[in-house]
Structure 1
């Protein structure tokens, strides 16, 4: 096989993979449990300033975010007195910047508008431990 043929096949493969990844990135996150997906900063502020809340900062292109979403949904069903909201960091960049979000998923556990704890990554045990602190 000639070198030019190998290069063309390789280029076509890379273009195909890129197109697949872009399609996946545009697919919205499915909702789970009682998690409200927030796309407005005013609504976000209103929801997290009263009582206990868990904020899930995610990105649609983030594999770990997609993997952990069903478990977060289960926690939202279990802890009914805690408000669960999710924020797409690409849509609400100002909110993500305000909270210094540098990795996804990041969970910010709040009570009455104040941050109580922060969990970076898909660590469900650490997340539930933090939730228990504000749910009591």
Structure 2
């Protein structure tokens, strides 16, 4: 597993090399949609403690978000061994989020 500093935005190469299940959460602290999704995300992540959750402050000129073609917030990208399997954008629903987390944790 690659160590990623919580204070620095990871590079695309670091993200691509992550082993196991990872959820990338792209957003901005001032974004109303992001704020509204936090309770749903927090609740779901408690059910999947084995999933690495990386929150990324996104915005103009932020390379990682551009490499994933993030255009709206929040965008959740679900990776298994560094490969994107699923993505949720903007309206985060509990069941869809749970389904995505199950998909990346399935053997």
User: Shorter-chain TM-score: what band?
Assistant: 0.7 to 0.9
Q: For 2:75 and 2:31, how far apart are their aligned partners in 1? A: 11
- Structure 2 unaligned segments of length 5 or more: list them: none
Q: Which has the higher contact order (CA 8 A, sep 6+)?
A: 2
1:70 aligns with 2:35: no
Q: For 1:105 and 1:92, how far apart are their aligned partners in 2? A: 17
**TM-score when scaled to structure 2?**
0.80
Q: Number of aligned pairs?
A: 101
* Segments ≥4 residues shifted beyond 4 Å: none
Aligned to 2:105: 135
- Structure 1 unaligned segments of length 5 or more: list them: 1-35
For residues 51-86 of structure 1, give each alpha carbon's deviation from its aligned partner in whole angstroms, at most 9, with x where no partner exists: 001111111221010111122112221101111111
1:93 aligns with 2:93: no
Aligned to 2:53: 84
Q: Given that residues 39 and 91 in structure 1 are in contact (C-alpha distance below 8 angstroms), is that contact kept between their aligned partners in structure 2?
A: no
For residues 32-68 of structure 1, give each alpha carbon's deviation from its aligned partner in whole angstroms, at most 9, with x where no partner exists: xxxx9653224x9259711001111111221010111
Q: For 1:97 and 1:46, how far apart are their aligned partners in 2? A: 14
**RMSD between superposed Cα atoms in Å:** 2.6
**Residue of structure 2 aligned with 1:56, choices 22, 25, 30:** 25
Q: Given that residues 38 and 87 in structure 1 are in contact (C-alpha distance below 8 angstroms), is that contact kept between their aligned partners in structure 2?
A: no
**TM-score when scaled to structure 1?**
0.64
Larger helix proportion, structure 1 or 2? Answer: 1
